């Protein structure tokens, strides 16, 4: 790419972003951090935009946006492509570590039916703890090496844990701790911040354009998007964790991804999960 | 007479060699300066947690061209990388407030 075209592309993208969005939404009188009001507005935005979509169906991503796709998904669910991962996860979850302990010893209720409570804000550490992070910490605490956050093992473990929570409403808490509110707000900022040479934010695709096509893909709505994680993606021919989804989203818009489980990703998962509170866990999911 | 001709030829050859060497040295210096500027801008973007993949690939292309001795091409790529890095810095800086324009309220 020549210098001039690079500069033109970058400038055009930045200008387009400014023109498209500037003034589209009114400023609130105060910038007080109010997660309850945010979640209410977030959910209303999607139910207003898609009045025909059943509320709990938003967790099915692109399959909720289009009748034909919905039928495809129902057929797919007869022989779900994530089944192999689910079986692998179940086996891994029940297999003891070398020290005789297992994942059950690291989680409340022995790790069963708790997916809807992740991520949570750890007041001791002052940071957001995701399920993926908690699983690796469990492994390390028991003398096992951590898994890659973007590979099959982590996807399998989280698939099994999500499956045991299917149907339970997402239930993310923000404790009365200013650091928790800051983490939530930082996650929100990350979600709406444009990045990469294509000048896209998460919201560009998943708020502005759900149901629209981007090349061959139909974009999922942000509401309930994390409830289906991890997902089998036909495009990947395999399973993907939440970390994999975030990092590939970044690289697709020509941004250098951060490291999985960096604060930014943990915070944005916290924000997205909180605003999807009340919607059922549907993971593991399948996507085109 | 013959000696004179030989001396003139030698002078021309030496001059030509000198000019060529000066040109390529100048070009390499120009590349080094352009690359350093691009690299510094990309590091600044990293501090803002907003590097672009295209900056990295263009910097790599600049280095590859320089390794092959193609300093004009390398300098052009380095300048392009600097422009990309500066655009990513502008984006990160302006988005510190502009993200609110997209927020669902």
CA atoms within 13 Å, Cβ hemisphere of A128: 31
What's the structural domain count of chain A? 2
* Alpha-carbon torsion angle A253, A256, A260, A263, nearest 10: -100
A197 and B53 within 8 Å at the Cβ level: the answer is yes
Domain boundary among the residues A115, A132, A163 is at: A163
CA distance B105 to B102: 9
Among A287, A226, A232, which Cα is nearest to A84's? A232
A75 and A91 in one domain? no
- ipTM for this prediction: 0.85
- Print the domain residue range for A259: 2-79+176-287
Does residue A171 form part of some domain?
Answer: no
Q: Measured between CB atoms, which of A2, A26, A194 is closest to B105?
A: A26
CA distance A273 to A242: 12
Size of interface A-B (CB pairs under 8 A): 95
- Interface mutation target, options A5, A9, A10, A249, chain B, most CBs of B under 10 Å: A10
Does residue A43 form part of some domain?
Answer: yes
A73 and A8 in one domain? yes
Greater confidence, A173 or A74? Answer: A173
Across the range A58-75, mean pLDDT stands at 89
Across the range A51-64, mean pLDDT stands at 94
Residue A216: CATH number of its domain: 1.10.760.10
Which pTM value belongs to this model? 0.86
Does residue A15 form part of some domain?
Answer: yes
Residue of B nearest to A208 (CA): B102
A221 and A100 in one domain? no
A143 and A10 in one domain? no
Strand order in the sheet with A238-240: A238-240, A231-233, A285-287
Q: Chain B contacts of A256, Cβ < 8 Å?
A: 51-53, 56
A232 and A120 in one domain? no
Tell me: cis bond preceding B104? Omega within 30 of 0 counts: no
pLDDT for the residue A30:
53
A249 flagged as catalytic: yes
Does residue A111 form part of some domain?
Answer: yes
Domain boundary among the residues A138, A163, A188 is at: A163
Q: Measured between CB atoms, which of B80, B91, B105 is closest to A28?
A: B105
- Chain centroid to CA A195: how far? 18
Catalytic residue among A138, A202, A205, A249: A249
Mean pLDDT over the full length of chain A: 90
Query: Is the torsion defined by CA of B2, B5, B9, B10 positive or negative?
Result: positive
Q: Chain B contacts of A194, Cβ < 8 Å?
A: 91, 95, 98-99, 102
Q: Chain B contacts of A31, Cβ < 8 Å?
A: 100
Across the range B23-43, mean pLDDT stands at 88
pLDDT digits (tens, 9 = 90+) for B44-102: 999 999 999 999 999 999 999 999 999 999 999 999 999 999 999 999 999 999 999 99
Residue of A nearest to B100 (CA): A192
CA distance A121 to A49: 31
Does residue A168 form part of some domain?
Answer: no
A204 and A67 in one domain? yes
* pLDDT at residue B2 tops 70: no
A53 and A97 in one domain? no
Domain boundary among the residues A163, A186, A217 is at: A163
**Closest CA of chain B from A152, distance in Å:** 25
Element (H, E) at A120: strand A120-122
Among A36, A155, A186, which Cα is nearest to A92's? A155
pLDDT digits (tens, 9 = 90+) for A253-285: 999 999 999 999 999 999 999 999 999 999 999
CA distances (Å), origin A5, targets A2, A208, B53, B63: 5, 27, 16, 20
**Closest CA of chain A from B20, distance in Å:** 27
Across the range A196-215, mean pLDDT stands at 95
| A residues 160-189 closer than 8 Å to B (CB) | 188-189
A182 and A256 in one domain? yes
Query: Is the torsion defined by CA of A200, A204, A210, A214 positive or negative?
Result: negative
CA distance B59 to A159: 39
pLDDT digits (tens, 9 = 90+) for A5-28: 544 455 445 444 443 444 344 444
A92 and A35 in one domain? no
CA atoms within 13 Å, Cβ hemisphere of A194: 30
Does residue A16 form part of some domain?
Answer: yes
Element (H, E) at A214: strand A213-214
CA distance A231 to A210: 18
Across the range A176-187, mean pLDDT stands at 97
* pLDDT at residue A74 tops 90: no
């Amino acid at each position: 790419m020549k210098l001039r075209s690079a500069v033109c592309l970058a400038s055009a993208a930045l200008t387009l972003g400014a023109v498209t969005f500037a003034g589209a939404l009114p400023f609130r009188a105060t910038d007080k951090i109010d997660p309850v009001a945010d979640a209410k507005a977030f959910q209303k935005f999607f139910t207003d935009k898609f009045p025909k979509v059943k509320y709990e169906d938003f967790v099915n991503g692109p399959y909720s946006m289009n009748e034909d796709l919905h039928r495809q998904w129902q057929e797919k669910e007869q022989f779900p492509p994530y089944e192999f991962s689910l079986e692998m996860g179940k086996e891994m979850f029940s297999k003891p570590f070398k020290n005789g302990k297992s994942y059950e010893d690291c989680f409340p209720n022995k790790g069963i039916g708790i997916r809807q409570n992740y991520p949570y804000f750890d007041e001791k550490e002052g940071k957001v703890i995701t399920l993926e992070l908690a699983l690796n910490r469990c492994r390390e605490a028991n003398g096992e090496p951590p898994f890659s956050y973007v590979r099959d093992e982590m996807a399998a473990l989280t698939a099994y844990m999500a499956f045991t929570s299917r149907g339970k409403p997402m239930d993310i808490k923000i404790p009365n701790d200013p650091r928790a509110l800051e983490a939530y707000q930082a996650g929100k900022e990350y979600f709406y911040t444009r990045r990469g040479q294509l000048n896209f934010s998460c919201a560009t695709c998943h708020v502005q354009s759900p149901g629209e096509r981007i090349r061959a893909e139909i974009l999922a709505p942000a509401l309930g998007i994390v409830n289906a994680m991890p997902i089998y993606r036909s495009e990947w021919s395999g399973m993907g964790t939440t970390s994999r989804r975030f990092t590939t989203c970044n690289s697709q818009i020509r941004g250098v991804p951060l490291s999985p489980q960096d604060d930014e990703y943990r915070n944005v998962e916290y924000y997205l999960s909180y605003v999807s509170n009340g919607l059922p866990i549907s993971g593991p999911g399948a996507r085109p | 007479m013959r000696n004179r001709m030989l001396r003139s030829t030698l002078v021309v050859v030496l001059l030509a060699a000198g000019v060529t060497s000066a040109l390529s040295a100048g070009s390499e210096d120009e590349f080094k300066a352009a690359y350093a500027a691009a690299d510094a801008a990309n590091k600044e973007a990293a501090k803002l947690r907003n590097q672009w993949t295209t900056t990295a690939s263009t910097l790599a292309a600049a280095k590859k061209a320089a390794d092959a001795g193609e300093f004009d091409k390398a300098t052009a790529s380095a300048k392009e990388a600097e422009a990309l890095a500066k655009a990513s810095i502008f984006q990160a800086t302006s988005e510190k407030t502009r993200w609110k324009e997209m927020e669902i309220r």
